[in-house]
Structure formats: structure tokens, C-alpha cells
Amino acid sequence: MLGLECELTSQRLRDRTKQFSGELTKLQDFFLIRYGSEILVQTGNHLLLVGISIAIATLLGIPLGILITRKPQFTKLVLGFANIVQTIPSLAIFGFLISVPFLGGIGNTPAIVALTLYSLLPIIRNTYTGITNVDPAIREAGKGMGMTDWQLLLQVEIPLSLGVILAGLRVATVIAIGIATIAPAIGADGLGVFIFRGISMVNNQVILAGAVPAALIALAADFALGWIERLLTLKR
């Protein structure tokens, strides 16, 4: 009798061990755990690509937006070019840049060029819109105080349009985060590495390892920049 009870107890322990092992195996197969370290590395690469691209686009886009407020004859040309870039499929631009000398080829450099081009439109357009929508009475008051055009721009127009400019930067950032997932098609780094790998393997877990972190980064960036935008709007 005692031997039978011991056997039953041993069987229960074995069953529980098997059950625990099965649950542990499932947990280890969860993509965030299985690919955790690689996800962190590729997330850093992804953020680096987007950060450099947005910085360059901001350095180009804001001055271009200011330029077309001072030189209206260039408005159609500048905004037209930025609009045309937006209409070109992103994969086509990545592919086209492979054959472009100096800025093209394979790797992160052409990816940064493509992301920069895609980020220009919202930054240029919002800079232009924000400055042109400044109340003319405020602008005239500044001129009446003897402000030069440069002083008027730096001390009146840009501070009043910062919320709109930041809204453009916010849109550009979210666009860049999404499009950067295609960059591995030309050998660049980033979370898109998992997506392309998962597609070739027909493995949803691997696809999710790239898609979920990219979506979370986009949401976090949108929330953070949206909060700053609201803060600037309230201060204004």
C-alpha cells in the first residue's frame, strides 16, 4: 500500500515537471524573450537611423520652410519636390539609391538619405504654414518697434509657430520610424531585419520581433512629441 502511494506521488511529480517544462518551453519561445538581446541591438540601430535622418531633415527642412516664406516664388518648387518624394513608393527609393554614387549603395548611408527625403515634407510644410499664419498685426507691431526682418523671424515668428513646426517634426518622426523597417532591404540595420527574416522563414514570431518594437517606438515618439507640442501651445 505504501509503495502504491509512493508510486502515485512520483507520477504526479513527473506530470507536474512535464507540465512546468512545457510552460517554460512556451515562455522561452515567446519572441521578446527568445530574441531579446538582438531586439535591443536592432532597436538601437533603428533609433540611430531615424535620429540621424530626422536631424538632417530638420536642418534642411526648417531653413527651406523659412526661405519660401521670404521668397514665395520658390514655394511651388520646394513643396512640389517634397510632395513628389512622398508619392514615390519607399521600396522604390531604396532600390533607386543602390545605384547612386557617393550617397547610394548598400548599407546605412542610402537608408539615411531615403529617410531624410521622406521626412522633409511635413517639416517644410509645417514651418511654412506656422510662420505664414502668424497674426499680421503682431508682425506689423514688431516692424513698428524697429525690428529687422531677421529679428522679427527669431523673436516673433518662430516662437509663435513652434507648436506647428513641432507637429511637423512629430509626423516626420513617426513616418521615418515606420519606413526605416524597410531599410534592411538594402542592407541597413534596424528592426526590419526581423521582419524580412520572418517573411523568408514564414515565421510570425520573428516578424513580430521586429513589428511590435517598431510600433511601440512610434507610439512613444508620437506621445512624447505630442506632449511637448501641447506644452508649447499652452505657453504661447
**DSSP for 210-236, written as a single string:** HHHHHHHHHHHHHHHHHHHHHHHHHH-
141 CB neighbour count, 10 Å cutoff = 13
**Residue closest to 188 by CA, chosen among 119, 123, 116, 105:** 105
**Can you state the angle between helices 204-235 and 192-201, rounded to 10 degrees?**
150
**What is the separation of C-alpha 155 from the centre of its chain, rounded to a whole number of angstroms?**
30
User: pLDDT 10s digit of each residue in the chain, 236 long?
Assistant: 545 454 545 555 455 545 544 443 443 455 567 787 899 999 999 999 999 999 999 999 999 999 999 999 999 999 999 999 999 998 899 988 888 888 788 889 999 999 999 999 999 999 999 999 998 898 888 888 888 889 899 889 999 999 899 999 999 999 999 999 999 999 999 999 999 999 998 888 889 889 999 999 999 999 999 998 888 776 66
User: Tens of pLDDT along 83-96?
Assistant: 999 999 988 999 88
pTM listed for this prediction: 0.84
The structural architecture, per CATH, of the domain 33-235 is Orthogonal Bundle (1.10)
**DSSP for 181-208, written as a single string:** GGGGGGT--STHHHHHHHHHHT-HHHHH
Which residue carries 523568408 as its cell? 200
Q: Give every CB contact of residue 183 below 8 A, 6+ residues apart in sequence.
A: 49, 94, 108, 111, 114, 115, 189, 190, 192
Q: Rounded to 5 degrees, what are φ and ψ at 50? A: -65, -45
Question: Which residue ranges make up each domain of the chain?
Answer: 33-235
5 CB neighbour count, 10 Å cutoff = 9
Please tell me the number of Cα atoms within 13 Å of 68 on its side-chain side.
Answer: 21
